[in-house]
Amino acid sequence: MPSGCYMSDGILFASLLLSSALEMYSPKKPAMHSRRQVRWPALLFFIFASLMLLNHSPYSFLPSPPKYTSSQKTCPSTPPYPPLLPVPNSGFNWRRIETKNPVKSFTSLPKATKKKDKLPRIQYGFEKEESTALYGKVMQKRRLAAVKAAFTRCWASYKDRAWLKDELTPVSGSSKTTFGGWGATLVDSLDTLWIMDLKQEFEEAVSAVVEVDFKPDGVINMFETTIRYLGGLLSAYDLTDCKDSRLLSKAIELGDMIYASFDTPNRMPITRWDSAKASKGQNQTAAASGIIAELASFSLEFTRLSQLTGDMRYYDAVTRVTNVLADQQMKTNIPGLWPVGIDVETPDLTQDTQFSLGAMADSAYEYLGKTYQLLHGTKAAFQYKNMYNAAMDAVIRHMLFRPMVPDEADILMPTTVRASSPKSVHQDHTAQHLVCFVGGMLALGGRLFENETHVEYGRRVTDACVWSYQNAPNGIMPEMFSMPSCPSHTPCVYDATKEQVHPGFTSVSDARYILRPEAIESVFYMYRITGDPLYQDIAWEMFQAIDSKSRTDFANAAIRNVMADGEGEKEDSMESFWLAETLKYFYLMFCEPGVLSLDEWVFNTEAHPFRLGV
């Protein structure tokens, strides 16, 4: 299967030529789950026109091979032995810092099983429908071109004005340092460059990444460092078929830095880590007040790093965290879930009363199913399966509410919950854009663990986010808001007399849209898992709303108030996830579904795909 998706100039030209005509026939607002009406004479004309153009264009999906620095043929089928080492350079070497709390014996990755295809099929069987109308194909190509154009525009500005910096400031056209100053946008965008077939830009970016020095630099957010930088490097390496060893070497250098933050008496990581202090060899302990997402979101990156290097220190480090999570999962105020606030020093994850799937909790849950998948459902991975199932039982029982909305749509929104005991659980009916990833998590989990109920819940959660997009004044869901709620998950009649700022929105506490990916992420999972082409139309509507409202002279920017009418004020911010995640998911919506198939790749929480190998 190709790992890149792109079109030849001929197709691009053909698509653009047809674009204005097609526009006339694309529905303005796709209604949820109803098939699109197509006008037949127009359809026939476009099939004919497209055939003519297709016949005259070179059409290939094979990426041209860039230059590699190693002769490796493909990704390893077993973890390398002896373990790989980073290529020595003049940068800071975290391996040289003395370990204060050495590990006596390391847990190794489970041995690969002989039986291939142990995991159930995730993606819908698209290949059965190879003959779908050319009309649709040309339309998807045109959409693909629009997303790619948005990306290349931002990338050109980043290159011009913020090269090697963490972020471009999209309003003022300058740059800022937000995540350690190692070029967050540069590293986070590597795999998107590859996937969009911007191979020359990719090559240029990799050459720059090689020069990055992960030297000590004050207090660092290790969660963001792991998901954006380490995830970005591993994913780019995987996409090159493990041929560009410069990327792995860089990933090991960074992995060694992150590993140093696990050097505490109980081997729990310090997630807001004073790297300067640690580099001087001072004693360190994990925080007494921590956050569940930051503790529990290393498993995917560190497991892949061990698979690719054969160095078991990383897998061992996350196994210690996972064991603590598993031990305490059923002892909290909502058995199955961990509260947001935790004590990592003890460690004690059972005290706090606030539970959420959104900010500060999200990927702790997301990574349970995904790590199981990365470990190929081997016996050692059953711990992750059990934790996933226990968590999702509690999610379905306690964390979802049915919004009371004018069209009585069959949707479920995850919310924040307070629980002082398992018998006293209260939802607050707030919604967050960030929580929208839950739809994709449930749909993927439903396929992985063969539970259709979860796929169906995934659909209803995804549709709640789609509903929020479609029914917000500008077609964009705000960051944080409340919704009126039904007493249960079953239908209830809309009460228009309830006080609301907009139908379906009780109040909006944070009206920004900061170029977030979670809604399109779940739409992407639902599309790949159910095969319903309606999700492509939904995605296109979302893309158009976001791109037109967030555009600046240089790139795209966070919007201050998506509930307000008119042009809208912008913030001088373009987080690296806009290029790493949001535009990547939009792009993949309009690609051949075999590209980065969910049966061959698993995406980290920053949308970086890791190969399901070893």
Ligand X SMILES: *[C@@H]1O[C@H](CO)[C@@H](O)[C@H](O)[C@H]1NC(C)=O
Closest approach of ligand X to the CB of residue 505, in Å: 29
Residue 479 is a catalytic residue = yes
Query: Which of 30/269 has CB closer to ligand X?
Result: 269
Residue 114 CB burial class (10 angstroms; 0-12, 13-18, ≥19): exposed
Closest approach of ligand X to the CB of residue 425, in Å: 17
Closest approach of ligand X to the CB of residue 544, in Å: 36
Total residues at interface with ligand X (CB under 6 A): 10
Q: Is 97 in the site for ligand X (CB under 6 A)?
A: no
Query: Which of 217/410 has CB closer to ligand X?
Result: 410
Q: Is 393 in the site for ligand X (CB under 6 A)?
A: yes
Reading the block at residue 246, the tokens are 């410069």
Query: Which of 393/569 has CB closer to ligand X?
Result: 393
Interface positions, 257-316, toward ligand X (CB under 6 A)? 265, 283
Q: Which stretch binds ligand X (CB under 6 A): 41-49, 243-251, 355-363, 392-400?
A: 392-400
DSSP annotation string for 75-138: --SS--SSPP-PPP-SS--GGGSPPSS--SSPPPPPPPPS-S--SPP-S--GGGGTT--HHHHH
Sheet of strand 417-421, all strands in order from the earlier edge strand to the far edge: 354-355, 417-421, 424-427
Query: Which of 222/391 has CB closer to ligand X?
Result: 391
Give phi and psi for 184, each to the nearest 5.
-55, -45
Closest approach of ligand X to the CB of residue 27, in Å: 35
Q: Which stretch binds ligand X (CB under 6 A): 336-344, 389-397, 403-411, 546-554?
A: 389-397
Interface positions, 65-94, toward ligand X (CB under 6 A)? none
**Residue selected from 293, 392, 539, 562 as contacting ligand X according to rule CB under 6 A:** 392
Helices (H), 341-436: 362-374, 382-394
Residue 605 counted as an annotated binding residue: yes
Do residues 297 and 226 touch, judged by C-beta distance below 8 A?
Answer: yes
CA distances from 107 to 82, 104, 319 (A): 16, 10, 7
Residue 201 is a catalytic residue = no
Q: Of the listed 362, 463, 521, 581, which one is catalytic?
A: 362
Closest approach of ligand X to the CB of residue 283, in Å: 4
Q: Of the listed 197, 518, 541, 606, which one is catalytic?
A: 518
**Residue selected from 8, 43, 68, 100 as contacting ligand X according to rule CB under 6 A:** 100
How far apart CA 458 and CA 365 sit, in angstroms, is 14
CA distances from 601 to 252, 594, 612 (A): 21, 11, 5
Residue 498 CB burial class (10 angstroms; 0-12, 13-18, ≥19): exposed
Closest approach of ligand X to the CB of residue 450, in Å: 7
How far apart CA 531 and CA 518 sit, in angstroms, is 19
How far apart CA 58 and CA 48 sit, in angstroms, is 18
Q: What angle do CA 600, 605, 609 make, to 5 degrees?
A: 25
How far apart CA 108 and CA 35 sit, in angstroms, is 50
Site string for ligand X, 487-526 (x = CB under 6 A): ----------------------------------------
Q: Is 454 in the site for ligand X (CB under 6 A)?
A: yes
The SS3 call for residue 493 is coil
**Residue selected from 22, 396, 492, 501 as contacting ligand X according to rule CB under 6 A:** 396
Residue 600 is a catalytic residue = no
Tell me which residues are annotated as active site.
224, 362, 479, 518
> Which residues participate in the annotated binding site for Ca(2+)?
605
Q: Which residues bind ligand X (CB under 6 A)?
A: 100-101, 265, 283, 392-393, 396, 451, 453-454
